[in-house]
Amino acid sequence: MDIRAYLQKKKMLVDDALDRYMPTLDAYPPTIHNAMRYSLFAGGKRLRPILTIASYEAVGGDRGCVLPFACAIELIHTYSLIHDDLPAMDNDDFRRGVLTNHKVYGDAVAILAGDALLTEAFRLMTDSDAISGIDLRAVLDVINDIANAAGASGMVGGQNLDLESEGQDIDLSDLEYIHTHKTGALISVSVSTGAKLGGASEEEVRLLSKYGEAIGLAFQIVDDILDIEGEEALLGKSVGSDAKKQKATYPVFLGIDGSKKLAGELTDNAIVFLEDFDDKAGPLRMIARYIGDRKG
C-alpha cells in the first residue's frame, strides 16, 4: 500500500471513531457542541492519531484498544489549533480550509470549545468501555505522558515561549525548544502512546520515542518552510504569517536550503531508529518520509 492510500484508510477509521465518541450535534447545549464538531470535522489530516495507530501496530498491538487514545490526542490537537487561532494568539481567519472557530462562533465560544475538547480527551481516555481489558498501569502511564506533553512543560510551554519570542532576538537553541515543545511533544507522545498500549518493551518505547522526537521537529521545520513557499489551497491556512509577526523560524537561522537539509536529516535519523523493527513498522517509515516531503 502506498502512503496516500494508507493515510486515507486510517483517516477514515479515525474520523468514524471520533464521530462515535463525540457527543452528537443535537446534544444540549447546542452552541458548544456545534462549535466543537465544527473544528473537529473541518478536515484535519489526523496525522497524530494515525501515528498512534501505526506505532501500536508496529509493536504487534492487536487488541483494538488504541482508538480512544488516538482520538483523544486529536481532540487535544484540535483544541490547540482553535486557541492558537484566537485574536489574542495568532489571530488567523482560516484553518483546515474553512473560517476559524472564533470567526464563526465568536471568541468566547471558541475558548469554550477548546476547553471542552481538551476535557473531552481526558473523559474519553478514562471511559470504562475504552479502558476495559487494558492493564490500568499502562492506561495511567499514557494519560500521564499525554498530560505532560500537552501542558506547561510541553505544548503549552512551547506556545508560551513562542508568543514571548515574537520580534525578540532569540538563538537557535531557544527556537529548538519552542518547536520541540509547541509541536514536537504531541507528535512524539502520539508515537509513544501507541507503543505502550501495544505492549512494547522498554527498548522499543525508547526507540519509538526517539523516532517521534525526530519526526516532531522535522514536522515543524517543514511547517516553517511551507509558511514561506507553501500553497494556501493545499495548507488550508494563510501563508507568510511568520514573517509578518517577525517570528524566528528555521529558515531565518539556516535559510530555506539549510532547513530542508536538516528536515531531511531528521527524517533519515527517524528511520534509523526503526532499524530493529520488522515490516510492521513499514507505515512509520513511510510517514517519516511523508513528513519530510509534505506540501499540506
Amino acid at site 137 = R
Q: Which of residues 105-164 bind ligand GRG (CB under 6 A)?
A: 155-156, 159
Q: For residues 177, 166, 77 and 131, what is the CA-based torsion angle, rounded to 10 degrees?
A: 40
Tell the burial category of 202 from Cβ atoms under 10 Å away from its Cβ (0-12, 13-18, 19+): exposed
Shortest gap between Cβ of 100 and ligand GRG (angstroms)?
A: 11
Q: Does the protein bind ligand GRG through residue 81 (CB under 6 A)?
A: yes
Which residue in the set 6, 32, 45, 103 belongs to the binding site for ligand GRG (CB under 6 A)? 45
Give yes or no for residue 182 binding ligand GRG (CB under 6 A): yes
Residue 80 near ligand GRG by CB under 6 A: yes
Closer to ligand GRG by CB, 33 or 182: give it: 182
Inter-residue long-range contacts of 170-178, CB under 8 Å, 24+ positions, other chains counted: 170/248, 172/253, 174/248, 175/248, 175/249, 175/250, 175/253, 176/217
Q: Is 183 in the site for ligand GRG (CB under 6 A)?
A: yes
Q: Which residue's C-alpha cell is 501496530?
A: 57
Residue 189 to residue 208: CA distance in whole angstroms: 10
Instruction: Give the ranges where 126-201 is alpha helix by DSSP (H).
Output: 128-131, 136-150, 155-165, 172-179, 185-197
Enumerate residues 87-116 that contact ligand GRG by CB under 6 A: 96
Q: Between the CA atoms of 32, 34, 36 and 42, what dihedral angle is there, to the nearest 10 degrees?
A: -160
Nearer to ligand GRG, 201 or 241 (CB): 241
> Is 37 an interacting residue with respect to ligand GRG (CB under 6 A)?
no
Q: Is residue 53 part of the contact set for ligand GRG (CB under 6 A)?
A: no
Count of residues interacting with ligand GRG (CB under 6 A):
16
CB 102 within 8 A of CB 113: no
Q: Candidates 41-49, 50-58, 193-201, 284-292 — which segment interacts with ligand GRG by CB under 6 A?
A: 41-49
Q: Which residue has the cell 488516538?
A: 70
Say whether residue 15 binds ligand GRG (CB under 6 A): no
Q: Does 259 bind ligand GRG (CB under 6 A)?
A: no
Q: Does 184 bind ligand GRG (CB under 6 A)?
A: no
Q: By C-beta, is 114 or 198 nearer to ligand GRG? A: 114
Asked if 292 touches ligand GRG (CB under 6 A), the answer is: no
The minimum distance between CB 155 and ligand GRG, in angstroms, equals: 5
Q: Which amino acid is at 200?
A: A
Q: Which of 36, 44, 57, 259 binds ligand GRG (CB under 6 A)?
A: 44
Residues 155 and 182 sit within 8 Å (Cβ to Cβ): yes
Binding site for ligand GRG (CB under 6 A): 44-45, 47, 77, 80-81, 83-84, 96, 155-156, 159, 182-183, 220, 223
